[in-house]
Amino acid sequence: MVYVWLVLLALLVYVLFKRIYTPKYLKTLTQEEFIQGYRKAQLIDVREPREYDSGHILGARNIPLSQLKQRLKEVRTDQPVYLYCQSGARSRQAAAILKKKHGVEDVSHLKGGFRKWTGKIKKK
């Protein structure tokens, strides 16, 4: 029984680490830094369509994390990629997919995600 608890605890620590850890290739940008560069980059909202439709950063394309692997060809590898989601967790996952499966080198995400965004937004 003790082994089961140790395995569950180890699994929990691993999952929490993966959600919090930001790899070296991913730049975490403040809102001000994000605003300075996102017009020169591919701005991608990785939230689900219903979240995107309720409000998104002006100029953002919606490629949900759940569809990213099937839609990799829509992301150029020769331009910077700026990602955001609701809190930052999904954009970290999206960055890992873009780096490992598609070879994107210049990838950044918004610190705190869309919920911390105070800039202009567009609603559908």
Alpha helices in the chain (DSSP H): 2-20, 31-37, 49-53, 89-102
In a domain, 14, yes or no: no
For 24, 48, 96, 110, the CA distances from 105, given in Å and listed in that order, are 11, 24, 10, 17
Phi (first) and psi of residue 46, to 5 degrees: -95, 15
Quick: pLDDT tens for 31-60: 999 999 999 999 999 999 999 999 999 999
Does residue 29 or residue 14 have the better pLDDT? 29
**How many domains would you assign to the chain?**
1
CATH number at residue 57: 3.40.250.10
Q: What does DSSP say about strands 81-84 and 107-110: parallel, antiparallel, or unpaired?
A: parallel
Catalytic residues: 85
In a domain, 8, yes or no: no
pTM as predicted: 0.82
3-state helix, strand, coil split of the chain in percent (to 5) is 50, 20, 35
pLDDT for position 21:
60
